[in-house]
Amino acid sequence: MTEAATTAPRYPQPDLNSLPEDIKAKILEVQEKAGFIPNVFLGLARRPAEWRAFFAYHDALMLPETAGRESGLTKGDREMIVTTTSAANHCLYCVVAHGAILRIYEKKPLVADQVAVNHRKADISPRQKAMLDFAMKVCQHSDEIEDADFEALHAHGFTDEDAWDIAAITAFFGLSNRMASFSGMQPNEEFYLMGRLPKGK
Amino acid sequence: MTEAATTAPRYPQPDLNSLPEDIKAKILEVQEKAGFIPNVFLGLARRPAEWRAFFAYHDALMLPETAGRESGLTKGDREMIVTTTSAANHCLYCVVAHGAILRIYEKKPLVADQVAVNHRKADISPRQKAMLDFAMKVCQHSDEIEDADFEALHAHGFTDEDAWDIAAITAFFGLSNRMASFSGMQPNEEFYLMGRLPKGK
Amino acid sequence: MTEAATTAPRYPQPDLNSLPEDIKAKILEVQEKAGFIPNVFLGLARRPAEWRAFFAYHDALMLPETAGRESGLTKGDREMIVTTTSAANHCLYCVVAHGAILRIYEKKPLVADQVAVNHRKADISPRQKAMLDFAMKVCQHSDEIEDADFEALHAHGFTDEDAWDIAAITAFFGLSNRMASFSGMQPNEEFYLMGRLPKGK
Amino acid sequence: MTEAATTAPRYPQPDLNSLPEDIKAKILEVQEKAGFIPNVFLGLARRPAEWRAFFAYHDALMLPETAGRESGLTKGDREMIVTTTSAANHCLYCVVAHGAILRIYEKKPLVADQVAVNHRKADISPRQKAMLDFAMKVCQHSDEIEDADFEALHAHGFTDEDAWDIAAITAFFGLSNRMASFSGMQPNEEFYLMGRLPKGK
Amino acid sequence: MTEAATTAPRYPQPDLNSLPEDIKAKILEVQEKAGFIPNVFLGLARRPAEWRAFFAYHDALMLPETAGRESGLTKGDREMIVTTTSAANHCLYCVVAHGAILRIYEKKPLVADQVAVNHRKADISPRQKAMLDFAMKVCQHSDEIEDADFEALHAHGFTDEDAWDIAAITAFFGLSNRMASFSGMQPNEEFYLMGRLPKGK
Amino acid sequence: MTEAATTAPRYPQPDLNSLPEDIKAKILEVQEKAGFIPNVFLGLARRPAEWRAFFAYHDALMLPETAGRESGLTKGDREMIVTTTSAANHCLYCVVAHGAILRIYEKKPLVADQVAVNHRKADISPRQKAMLDFAMKVCQHSDEIEDADFEALHAHGFTDEDAWDIAAITAFFGLSNRMASFSGMQPNEEFYLMGRLPKGK
């Protein structure tokens, strides 16, 4: 029995130039900024309508200022939720890609590996620990969320709007995790090292 | 200790007239067609950017013709995936609301209750059973999806595009399930009875 | 590979007239009252001794007055326990059949679907919620039942006799769930709609 | 905080002389034969109607000749099912009491401890191993029982009637396990040693 | 399909006389004392370096006086931890062998069967119950151990050194359980009866 | 409520100079070679007898040549087993420390993160995938290991000696994982970056 490489994506990636202009433009913009095209952008682009909805949702949650709204979560908090819950879902793409961004935003080269393995042992604040406890419950037992879970957030100063942010980010990346895992999406090599070295090196 | 009613939503619903015009228009259109406003439309509307992304994603998957694409899944197939995986996630809103639509599309008043309790005992085709087996694996163990799971779909005539549809619908409603459960969204009473009676009654 | 229909019972049902007189009489009495013969009556009748014990046990728990005893649980409470724990066991027959009776006794057309999907979101009293929490623990982790579980019942006015009722109903229908699922028992179509419509319609 | 002994039953046991005549007679008969009264007989007797149904059910399954029927399972097979599935349910009473009877019927002083810890490592026949695999699936995942499970039994010469026996014994003792665990029923000391010594010692 | 007996070890056992002198000497010493050679001694001896490390570790934990240290756990406590956690890991060898030693040390012929089936129902002290709760958490969810788990031990007078003992014994026998189960190690028949009879019989 | 930092070890680390000479010598040797003292060496040293057994066991498995034996597993294979199963046990120390060594031995800067998140998606050979499948079963369900698991290894050229290596490494690091997690052991910062950069940088 021969087997296909386990690391090839299951679905062919479209050529950048074959994509609708708006999608192509956004991808080029990302490439300009990041220096490479994260695989999720091409991996989902074969279905333009889904692509547009996916990134609109992503931006509404992860870039709240683009939605004209402020969030009680920092950029680092948001990426920490993504990394932690994606590890619980065993999604390679999201752990590696968002772990990289988490390291950069938090300026902590170790934190992504820590929350991915066991957020209880990570070098994070008690407030972040409570945030991740709530996220993990939404990720794994959303039907059991109850008043006490909200109260545990409130005890650390989180509002109900913050709770919505935590839950929605968790829910959205639960979608992303399933799409990436099912379709064999691999993280770009660039992500693995990002944020691990002091600047200037 | 007093307790709030378990059936009240945790977040206040916005007044329809306070919503952005595009959202208000779409909600009125739905109300016109359905005769009532399904709670998910108001429940998510307090965050317009997320609302727009949510329903754009929904339509891209559940109304593929709006995305200029055909699907190998029928309308009934799609609702069956939603009802089955939402039951696995214990999401009351989605089981009741999409179970109603499933009954109507499949013209089978019993099928929604069957797949919600145990899809293995439901009066569905072997092809639909295979479709639901794949959906349930994406729902519960997406990290373990492997070649054999695709082959099981192929054996029933599903293509890889169909597999994408099944996975994406499952993933999107996994998001929806978590949002509905976490925020205490309740299904409208109208859904419970829809599609259970022969037409004309 | 051809497959048998998934909805046919695995064991042939006996002819009513071939059954022992006492069993036949009781079944006819049920048919008289209900207007049809619930499938459990014929499904188990191929083994008369087991049939007699099953229904004697059923009546001792579900019709306590036939055992010369009063119960602190209402008829609706009892059916609510059956519906909720049978859903946890994914037993199609019991969820549909007892969900019907639950709707009628509680005069709430929505409650059965609610507790079957997620009893934490159901429109029931805090007392009933505590009752179902206890039942679910007996259903799923009976070895871990401890003093605190009884105390949680007492806090809602339940006595130790009531606790016995909750546990015994859960345990008996755990038996029933396994028999129905293993033998491919299907609920009669009549059950699906019972109690969903206002009287007179 | 003081705690009640964990080994006391939660419910007071009735005095033998206060019991209805038929129950008292049967208990005295058991005592005559066994030399002691197994605790299940007094533990359940406070509810005579349930007691009668419980033992009627027990006898219909475990003493098929009393129901005028033959079984393809031996007496040892039946007790092996009880011991194995009761261990999966962590029911102390049933593992110890039925483990004792299993040792006696099988004339194997080691087999009860073996199947209670891990039936895969027990010194039993491949046919008994298949029987226990089926029983464990009925015990833990009855909703997933499918054709392949029956075929695995057939491959070892079991009929569908035998399958019913295996399933029904498992289901009945699942009830018994929950009642014993919830009510704090303890096995009589006599059971622990029964069948462990060669006769005559 | 023929099957090998499930009770034969997967790996051939070395001849005692072929073993290195130190190993042979220790095994003969054990045989002298116990009257037989427990199978673990020959089962692991095919790899002398691993054998030496295994028994050195064992002695460091189970015979603390050989390590020049005192333990707040009694000999019975230590064997109780082994029996309970080995049952959770379904390891036949360790449950039977260490259950025997537990009976002897605690002078309680029933306790090993009790903790193996359900330590919550065993006739042990509240202090021992807390000890086993901690051990079970290390066994099954070591990543979730938190301050509250240590505090629950302290409430019963255990020190942090005692906590180390409980955790290390659990961890070491988790290793032992996996080696025994994977390699098909069977307990010697002698263990099954040890400590069940009053001395002198 | 104030909380201790989650990243401090629970037990004080001994001063290097207070340790027995043999332990001190070995630790200095490691420090000489690695440039730092991995925390496991000091974290376990407060109990010298356990320390000696732990590292003797470690060397017997991970440095088979020191035990006068050859292994069919490469050094990279062994570290891959450790990293994968330690991630399943959510052990931060072992994933980070052994992930580092894995990267170096395999000369693959990405592989450790891949197997830690989902070994099914890692860029490894089918032979290594089979090796990890076996290791994960020993890690999580050792009681269910059966002939078919060995046959799956044989199909990739592994011998029964190799199977022993895989199982024993998994079992030993299961011990290590529990000790590290329970005692709050943190990986040294040096490990996080090791093997991620091309040599010479």
Range A21-48 average pLDDT: 97
pLDDT at E6 over 90: no
Dump pLDDT digits (tens) for B79-97: 999 999 999 999 999 999 9
Rounded CA-CA distance D35/C199 in Å is 59
Identify the chains in contact with A, defined as 3+ C-beta pairs within 8 A. Answer: B, C, E, F
Dump pLDDT digits (tens) for E162-189: 999 999 999 999 999 999 999 999 999 9
pLDDT band for A6, please (50, 70, 90 cuts). low
Say if C and F touch: at least 3 Cβ pairs within 8 Å: no
| Chain C residues with CB-CB distance to E122 below 8 A | none
Range B134-155 average pLDDT: 98
pLDDT at residue number A201: 44
Interface-testing mutation among D57, D91, D137, D141, with chain C (most C C-beta atoms within 10 A):
D57
Look at A3 and F182; give whichever has higher pLDDT: F182
Chain F residue with Cα closest to A109: F192
C121: nearest CB among B3, B6, B192:
B6
| Helix, strand, coil in percent for chain B, rounding step 5 | 70, 0, 30
Residue with tokens 């994506």: A9
Rounded CA-CA distance A176/A182 in Å is 10
Could you give the maximum distance between any two Cα atoms of chain F, in Å?
57
pLDDT at residue number A198: 75
pLDDT at B3 over 50: no
End-to-end Cα spacing for chain C: 46
pTM attached to this predicted model: 0.96
Identify the chains in contact with C, defined as 3+ C-beta pairs within 8 A. Answer: A, B, D, E
| Percent share of chain D, pLDDT over 90 | 94
Range D55-70 average pLDDT: 97
pLDDT at B1 over 70: no
Interface of A with F (CB under 8 A): 3, 5-7, 87, 90-92, 95-96, 109-110, 113-114, 116-118, 120-124, 126, 129, 181, 184, 186, 189, 192-193, 196-197
Nearest to C61 by CA among C48, C75, C45: C75
pLDDT at residue number A11: 96
pLDDT band for C198, please (50, 70, 90 cuts). confident
In angstroms, the Cα distances linking D195 to A122, D96, D132, E13 are 54, 11, 21, 31
Give how far A201 is from chain E: nearest CA, Å. Answer: 35
Give how far D141 is from chain B: nearest CA, Å. Answer: 12
pLDDT at E4 over 60: no
Are the CB atoms for C145 and C95 separated by under 8 Å? no
Chain F residue with Cα closest to B145: F120
pLDDT at residue number D3: 43
Residue with tokens 């019913």: D164
Chain C residue with Cα closest to E122: C143
End-to-end Cα spacing for chain A: 46
pLDDT at F44 over 80: yes
> Could A120 and F186 be called an inter-chain contact, meaning their C-beta atoms sit closer than 8 Å?
no
Range B16-34 average pLDDT: 97
| Chain F residues with CB-CB distance to D118 below 8 A | 143
Give how far E88 is from chain C: nearest CA, Å. Answer: 13
Identify the chains in contact with E, defined as 3+ C-beta pairs within 8 A. Answer: A, C, D, F
pLDDT at D2 over 90: no
> Could F117 and A192 be called an inter-chain contact, meaning their C-beta atoms sit closer than 8 Å?
no
pLDDT at residue number B19: 97
> Could E143 and F90 be called an inter-chain contact, meaning their C-beta atoms sit closer than 8 Å?
yes
Instruction: Classify residue A13 by its DSSP letter.
Output: P
> Could C121 and B186 be called an inter-chain contact, meaning their C-beta atoms sit closer than 8 Å?
yes
Nearest to E171 by CA among B45, F50, F126: F50
Q: How far is CA E59 from the centre of its chain?
A: 11
Could you give the maximum distance between any two Cα atoms of chain C, in Å?
57
pLDDT at residue number F199: 65
Q: What is the dihedral of CA F159, F162, F163, F165, to 10 degrees?
A: 160
| Chain D residues with CB-CB distance to B140 below 8 A | none
Dump pLDDT digits (tens) for F57-93: 999 999 999 999 999 999 999 999 999 999 999 999 9
Q: What is the dihedral of CA F152, F155, F158, F159, to 10 degrees?
A: 90
Look at E8 and D163; give whichever has higher pLDDT: D163
Chain F residue with Cα closest to E89: F143
> Could E118 and D186 be called an inter-chain contact, meaning their C-beta atoms sit closer than 8 Å?
no
Chain A residue with Cα closest to B88: A143
- Provide the number of CB pairs (under 8 Å) joining chain D to chain F: 5
Give how far B146 is from chain F: nearest CA, Å. Answer: 9
Q: Which residues, 6 or more positions from C75, have their beta carbon under 8 angstroms from its beta carbon?
A: C105
> Could E118 and D92 be called an inter-chain contact, meaning their C-beta atoms sit closer than 8 Å?
yes
pLDDT at F13 over 60: yes
Range E42-54 average pLDDT: 97
> Could E54 and F54 be called an inter-chain contact, meaning their C-beta atoms sit closer than 8 Å?
no
Alpha helix locations (H) across chain D? Answer: 21-34, 39-43, 48-62, 75-88, 92-106, 111-118, 126-141, 147-154, 160-182, 189-193
Give how far E84 is from chain D: nearest CA, Å. Answer: 11
Rounded CA-CA distance D156/D177 in Å is 28
Range E153-158 average pLDDT: 98
Identify the chains in contact with F, defined as 3+ C-beta pairs within 8 A. Answer: A, B, D, E
Give how far F122 is from chain B: nearest CA, Å. Answer: 12
> Could E6 and D109 be called an inter-chain contact, meaning their C-beta atoms sit closer than 8 Å?
no
- Provide the number of CB pairs (under 8 Å) joining chain A to chain E: 5
Dump pLDDT digits (tens) for A156-178: 999 999 999 999 999 999 999 99
Dump pLDDT digits (tens) for C33-92: 999 999 999 999 999 999 999 999 999 999 999 999 999 999 999 999 999 999 999 999
pLDDT at residue number E199: 65
DSSP string, C42-83: HHSTTSHHHHHHHHHHHHHHH-GGGGT---SS-HHHHHHHHH
Dump pLDDT digits (tens) for E106-148: 999 999 999 999 999 999 999 999 999 999 999 999 999 999 9
| Chain E residues with CB-CB distance to F69 below 8 A | 47, 49
| Chain C residues with CB-CB distance to A143 below 8 A | 118, 120-121
Range A56-83 average pLDDT: 97
pLDDT at residue number B7: 76
pLDDT at residue number F8: 83
Average pLDDT of chain D, as a whole number: 95
pLDDT at residue number C7: 76
Dump pLDDT digits (tens) for C80-128: 999 999 999 999 999 999 999 999 999 999 999 999 999 999 999 999 9
Range B14-38 average pLDDT: 97
Dump pLDDT digits (tens) for D33-46: 999 999 999 999 99
Chain A residue with Cα closest to B149: A182
Interface-testing mutation among C84, C120, C129, C137, with chain A (most A C-beta atoms within 10 A):
C120
Range E89-97 average pLDDT: 98
Q: What is the dihedral of CA B159, B161, B166, B167, to 10 degrees?
A: 120
Dump pLDDT digits (tens) for D144-177: 999 999 999 999 999 999 999 999 999 999 999 9
Chain E residue with Cα closest to F172: E175
pLDDT at A5 over 80: no
Could you give the maximum distance between any two Cα atoms of chain A, in Å?
57
| Chain A residues with CB-CB distance to B175 below 8 A | 171-172, 174-175
pLDDT band for B201, please (50, 70, 90 cuts). very low
pLDDT band for B6, please (50, 70, 90 cuts). low
pLDDT at residue number F128: 98
Are the CB atoms for E100 and E49 separated by under 8 Å? no
pLDDT band for A7, please (50, 70, 90 cuts). confident
pLDDT at F137 over 90: yes
| Chain D residues with CB-CB distance to E117 below 8 A | 87, 90-92, 95-96, 116
D121: nearest CB among E6, E113, E117:
E6
Chain E residue with Cα closest to A121: E143
pLDDT at E200 over 90: no
Identify the chains in contact with D, defined as 3+ C-beta pairs within 8 A. Answer: B, C, E, F
pLDDT at residue number F4: 43
